[in-house]
Structure 1
Amino acid sequence: MSSYIEIIIQTALSFFSILFIARLIGRQQISQLTFHEYINGITFGSIAGNMATDLNNETMQHFAGLLLFGVLTYLISLIALKNRTFRKVVEGEPLLVIQDGKLLENNLKKARYSIDEFNMLLRQNDCYTPDDVEYGILESNGLLNIIKKADKQNVTLGDLNLTANEDTIPTELIIGGQIIYENLKKRRLSGKDLIKKLKQFSVKRIEEVMYATIDENGKMYVDKYEDDLETKVDFSEDSKGI
């Protein structure tokens, strides 16, 4: 019975310690979960879990470790708040991943995002193709913010007494220089048809294409590894990936 009482006391101590430290660090940890804050959250939970279930009379050691980790986290957050260079090292910085409808592959690689993961972020922004995006910025907390092209802004055609073809979910034809033949068949296209359409985008070889889609209306989106951008936006201090 004494062991159960001990666990109850240690769990309560662990719970209120975490609550106090979280309030001390501030709301930013909850609302803007950056990489180092994500790691901190896991570590806090691990230390608190050990403290709550420890029966080897090492509660105070766990408690001291929890407090020390909380103090270190607070100090790092404080330094990051006042020092921009240190904040970039600890929290990272936003990355420009779309410009003029073109995917910036190097920056996607730098963020460790696959095309499928990135498309999910686009859909969360009510956007189904990079071609609709003027600028896409991947924030340090993993969220994607986009600025749509002027003709894709949220002005309803009904307000202008106009009609248009409905947007459809595009089908992926090429990913990473490789043809998805199953999707090609779904769109009733042959390899020759695909090559012919790609020539309209000055593509000579499939290996030049990083990503390509086609919708039900026959509209294609093609992004080459070598993006032909007239001007490159210097968005971050480290713009080598662009």
Structure 2
Amino acid sequence: MDPILNVVVRSLCVYLFMVIAIRLFGKNQLSQLNAGDVVLLLLISNAVQNAMVGPDTSLQGGLVAALVLFIANFIVKRLMFSNQKFESFLEDNPVILVKDGVVDQEALNKVKISKDELEEAIREHGVDGIKNVKLSILEVDGNISVISEDEKDKQTHYSRIKRKNKRKYH
């Protein structure tokens, strides 16, 4: 087999394996990145690098593998955009955590978020407490959005903060 085609096929196989593995083992494996998770990511990248390029350690082989990964990712994103079933396979729906100041404990249990973590996220949004939350949602990207109501002005405030430590669920 042609060495370039060999790198292309190997890279596609590794990409598909990683997408399926992340889905099967839960996206929360990539959410709260602690030291152990960073080490795991580094080891996985090192392990699959050889699987992608095989004996071809040339610059050309590395660039072809990177190009294949970019193209595969582009195609997956396009498929997610155009095919609802494919998107729902790769990403879950947002989950309502708080509605009108009432915590949905069942939802918290499902997404494995403690009440302390929820309260921390609400404080990060500048809201006094759960009782002042109109709506709090765990978004598909692992961030928690909070909509609150100002008691003085009866004005609704929406805030969404990109968290350093994202939490995703499966």
Normalising TM by the smaller chain, what interval?
A: 0.5 to 0.7
- C-alpha spacing 1:97/1:58, structure 2 compared with 1 (3 Å): same
Q: Secondary structure at the match of 2:151?
A: helix
What 5-or-longer segments of structure 2 have no aligned partner?
Answer: 1-26, 32-40, 156-170
AA of the residue aligned to 2:57: E
Return the TM-score normalized by structure 2: 0.52
Task: State the partner residue of 1:46.
Answer: 45
In structure 2, distance between residues paired with 1:141 and 1:120:
18
In structure 2, distance between residues paired with 1:69 and 1:136:
35
Matches within 5 A, 1:139-150: 139-149=139-149
- C-alpha spacing 1:57/1:87, structure 2 compared with 1 (3 Å): closer
Q: Percent identity?
A: 19
Q: Deviations over 1:17-39 (max 9, x none)?
A: xxxxxxxxxxxxxxxxxx59x69
Q: Deviations over 1:148-174 (max 9, x none)?
A: 24626576xxxxxxxxxxxxxxxxxxx
Task: State the partner residue of 1:106.
Answer: 106
In structure 2, distance between residues paired with 1:152 and 1:143:
28
In structure 2, distance between residues paired with 1:124 and 1:153:
21
The Cα RMSD (Å) is 3.5
Return the TM-score normalized by structure 1: 0.38
Task: State the partner residue of 1:75.
Answer: 75
Q: Is 2:57 the counterpart of 1:58?
A: yes
In structure 2, distance between residues paired with 1:153 and 1:75:
47
Q: Secondary structure at the match of 1:92?
A: coil
Residues 91 and 140 in structure 1, CA contact (< 8 A), matched pair in contact too: yes
AA of the residue aligned to 2:146: I
Task: State the partner residue of 1:168.
Answer: none
Question: More helix per residue: 1 or 2?
Answer: 2
- C-alpha spacing 1:140/1:123, structure 2 compared with 1 (3 Å): same
- C-alpha spacing 1:153/1:141, structure 2 compared with 1 (3 Å): farther
Structure of greater relative contact order (alpha carbons < 8 Å, 6+ residues apart): 2
Matches within 5 A, 1:183-194: none
- C-alpha spacing 1:65/1:122, structure 2 compared with 1 (3 Å): same
Task: State the partner residue of 1:88.
Answer: 88
Matches within 5 A, 1:126-145: 126-145=126-145
Q: Measure how far apart 1:144 and its partner are.
A: 1.9
In structure 1, distance between residues paired with 2:63 and 2:112:
36
Task: State the partner residue of 1:123.
Answer: 123
AA of the residue aligned to 2:80: A
- C-alpha spacing 1:94/1:62, structure 2 compared with 1 (3 Å): same
In structure 1, distance between residues paired with 2:152 and 2:68:
51
Q: Measure how far apart 1:124 and its partner are.
A: 1.4
